[in-house]
């Protein structure tokens, strides 16, 4: 509860990792040059254009914006390795009701998997929305919705590898 969404793209999901880049799922049809919106903590809408989309593998990509956003108004939640079996809040398309929490486990081929039930299943449009855990008393991003069956990329692992190679 009370998860700060000011670092997410409106309707699209993804999460800021710094003042001008977001993690997102590669299969979402975000295009170079597309205008995107973030809703600030102060209620003001911030518009930016996507200037690049770099695939990291396993349906994870980095979206780069044309200009930085104000991180006093748009929160960057840290990315962390998931705690397997810990309660995890799964964000959904903004107009859809939150369906409680799930837990994260290991899926196939290096992917993570949510333990979904008919009460907390995902549907089309929920892709790219974050999986949030509380670790050390703070909200952290541990995954992103990639399929309606609850699979997602190992965000921490892929992002760490990407940062090492920069």
Predicted pLDDT at 124: 85
Specify whether the CB–CB gap between 60 and 158 falls below 8 A.
yes
Predicted pLDDT at 5: 92
Distances (CA, A) of 146 to 25, 34, 60, 149: 6, 21, 9, 8
Q: Per the structure block, which two tokens stand in for 161?
A: 């590898």
Q: Write down how long the chain is.
A: 166
Predicted pLDDT at 78: 97
Predicted pLDDT at 119: 75
Predicted pLDDT at 115: 92
Residue ranges of the chain with pLDDT lower than 70?
Answer: 1, 97-100
Predicted pLDDT at 1: 65
Cβ within 8 Å of residue 100, ≥6 positions away: 119, 120
Summarised one tens digit per residue, pLDDT across range 69-111 is 999 999 999 999 999 999 999 988 777 766 668 999 999 999 9
């Amino acid at each position: 509860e009370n998860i700060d969404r000011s670092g997410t793209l409106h309707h699209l999901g993804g999460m800021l990792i710094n003042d001008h880049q977001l993690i997102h799922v590669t299969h979402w049809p975000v295009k170079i040059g597309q205008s995107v919106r973030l809703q600030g903590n102060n209620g003001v809408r911030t518009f930016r254009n996507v200037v690049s989309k770099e695939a990291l593998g396993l349906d994870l990509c980095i979206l780069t914006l044309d200009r930085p956003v104000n991180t006093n108004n748009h929160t960057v939640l840290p990315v962390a390795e998931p705690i397997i079996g810990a309660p995890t809040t799964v964000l959904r398309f903004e107009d859809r009701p939150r369906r409680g929490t799930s837990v994260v486990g290991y899926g196939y081929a290096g992917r993570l998997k949510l333990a979904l039930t008919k009460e907390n299943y995902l549907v089309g449009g929920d892709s790219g929305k974050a999986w949030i855990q509380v670790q050390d008393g703070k909200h952290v991003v541990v995954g992103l919705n990639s399929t309606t069956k609850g699979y997602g990329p190992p965000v921490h692992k892929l992002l760490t590898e990407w940062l090492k190679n920069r």
